[in-house]
């Protein structure tokens, strides 16, 4: 029985979902007994399955996204992995892994495996933040702390418990005439959730800083962002909400969107639903965004470019996933360096341009992710303490 068989891919997928009929189970068992390699593949798929079918992010994926085409392209075009016909039978929970394993078994003599696996000190990020109160007092926050009350301004108390920091609207209303600013800093290897006094909920990613008032006064609500955050803005027709970055100002009317100021090409804003306007801080012009659009501010030209995208790729991080869609290894390793709090060193510029697609849990061991990349891309990782060295 051949290894690259559309029916076998379907049987593996149904087995992982627990949907095999008795006849299908017998067929799969016969295939497993046919070759030791078949058993290795199946066990690897079960052991290293990287995306859970129960995730709300991927349960809602449409056909185009779920039955995705997975391929890896290098600049020199030395290798392409294209398994078009098999993919339409493989559920998204197993796509990245099944493909990488099939490719590994077919090309195992050419795969460069990891030379060093000394990753004991490298762990996924966790809920942690540093709160700088209006009086300059510093509070260390983490996801393990019990519910507590913190004073963040003159008479202003907030609730902190686990990964959440909540500003009470009633308490804040008493301080509307006093503009006191707090700053929440998320270190590398951290994430946190914040609820502002107006009810706006903000999810903050690694290496992010948000400055905001303990209470909103006047005719507008304004916060200052550096890094990446997902906003669920409370609707208030009388007071528009502004997100201000060093290069871009976003005007909001009650909506959900993601802002990332760390991109190499420029600030990126993706609109999940609602209505926002993005304006260059130099005040040249403003563009109105529609649901499902990505706005990118080109740092060189100052132009804001709009295009339609699948927004789930840009917001998967807040639900605990990495979503890499034909991203360069340089972009991927930058993302991993922030989340796992590691340093990355490329031994050659050409390696940075290698491209990878995959969907994995953010809370996985870093070696699982490096293994997945190595299985498909002609690249080599050495891990030394908290430094990852990337080479051909």
pLDDT digits (tens, 9 = 90+) for 26-55: 888 888 888 777 776 776 665 544 433 334
Of the two residues 22 and 124, the one the predictor is more confident about is 124
Domain locations along the chain: 6-110, 126-314, 328-391
The whole-number pLDDT of residue 217 equals 78
Find out whether 176 and 218 touch, Cβ atoms under 8 Å: no
Mean pLDDT of the chain: 76
Q: Within 13 Å, how many C-alpha atoms sit on residue 279's CB side?
A: 15
Query: Which residue would you say has higher pLDDT here, 377 or 315?
Result: 315
CB contact set of 76 (below 8 Å; sequence gap of 6+): none
What residues have CB less than 8 Å from 63, skipping those under 6 apart? none
- pLDDT value at 388 more than 90: yes
Give 141-177 as a DSSP string: EETTPPSEEEEEETTEEEEEETTEEEE-HHHHHTTTT
> Tokens 């030379």 map to which residue?
115
Pairing of strands 208-213, 228-232: unpaired
pLDDT tens-digit readout, 238-269: 888 999 998 899 999 778 999 999 877 788 99
Report the pLDDT value the prediction gives residue 157, as an integer from 0 to 100: 74
- The pair of structure tokens assigned to 217 is 């006064």
Tens-digit pLDDT profile for residues 307-318: 999 898 899 999
The Cα diameter of the chain in Å comes to 76
The answer to whether residue 123 scores a pLDDT higher than 70 is yes
CA distances to 25, 149, 173, 371 from 315, in Å? 37, 30, 32, 24
Which CATH number does 126-314 carry?
A: 2.60.120.1440
Tokens of residue 164, six digits = 């959440």
Q: What is the pLDDT of residue 231?
A: 96
DSSP string, 36-90: HHHHHHHHHHHHH--S-TT-HHHHT--HHHHT-----B-TT---B---HHHHTTS
The correct CATH number of 328-391 out of 3.20.20.80, 3.40.630.30, 3.40.50.11740, 3.55.50.30 is 3.55.50.30
Cα separation, 48 vs 321, whole angstroms: 15
Q: Which residue has the higher pLDDT, 109 or 6?
A: 6
Higher pLDDT: 109 or 371? It is: 371
Q: What is the number of H-type helices and E-type strands within the chain?
A: 12, 24
First to last CA, the chain: 35
Check residue 185 and give its pLDDT.
Answer: 96
What is the average pLDDT across 152-180? 72
How many CA atoms within 13 Å lie on the side-chain side of 320?
13
pLDDT of residue 106: 43
Give residue 22's pLDDT band: very low, low, confident or very high (50, 70, 90). confident
């Amino acid at each position: 029985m051949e290894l690259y068989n559309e029916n076998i891919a379907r049987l593996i997928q149904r087995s992982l979902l627990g949907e095999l009929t008795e006849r299908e189970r017998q067929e799969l068992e016969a295939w497993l007994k046919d070759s030791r390699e078949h058993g290795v593949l199946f066990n690897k798929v079960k052991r290293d399955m990287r995306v859970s079918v129960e995730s709300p992010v991927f349960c809602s994926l449409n056909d185009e996204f779920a039955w995705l085409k997975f391929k890896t392209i290098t600049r020199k075009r030395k290798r392409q992995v294209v398994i078009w016909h098999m993919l339409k039978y493989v559920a998204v929970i197993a796509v990245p892994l099944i493909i990488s394993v099939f490719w590994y078994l077919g090309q195992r003599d050419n795969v460069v495996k990891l030379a060093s696996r000394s990753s004991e000190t490298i762990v996924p990020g966790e809920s942690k933040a540093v709160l700088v109160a209006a009086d300059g007092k510093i509070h260390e926050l983490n996801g393990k702390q019990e519910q507590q009350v913190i004073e963040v301004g003159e008479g202003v108390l907030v609730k902190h418990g686990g990964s959440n920091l909540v500003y009470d609207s009633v308490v804040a209303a008493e301080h509307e005439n006093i503009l006191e600013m707090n700053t929440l800093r998320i270190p590398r290897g951290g994430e946190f959730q914040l609820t502002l006094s107006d009810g706006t909920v903000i999810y903050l990613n690694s290496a992010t800083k948000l400055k905001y008032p303990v209470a909103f006064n006047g005719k507008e609500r304004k916060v200052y962002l550096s890094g990446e955050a997902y906003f669920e803005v409370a609707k208030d027709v009388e007071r528009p909400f502004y997100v201000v970055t060093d290069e871009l100002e976003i005007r909001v009317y009650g909506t959900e969107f993601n802002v990332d100021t760390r991109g190499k090409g420029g600030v990126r804003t993706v609109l999940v639903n609602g209505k926002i306007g993005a304006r260059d801080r130099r005040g040249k012009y403003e563009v109105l965004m529609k649901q499902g659009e990505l706005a990118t501010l080109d740092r060189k030209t100052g132009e804001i470019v709009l295009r339609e995208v699948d927004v789930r790729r840009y917001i998967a991080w807040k639900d605990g996933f990495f979503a890499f869609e034909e991203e360069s290894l340089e972009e991927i390793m930058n993302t991993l360096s922030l989340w796992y709090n590691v340093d990355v060193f490329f031994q050659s510029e050409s390696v940075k341009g290698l491209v990878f697609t995959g969907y994995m849990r953010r809370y996985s061991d870093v070696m699982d992710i490096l293994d997945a990349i190595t299985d498909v891309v002609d690249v080599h990782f050495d891990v030394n303490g908290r430094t990852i060295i990337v080479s051909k």
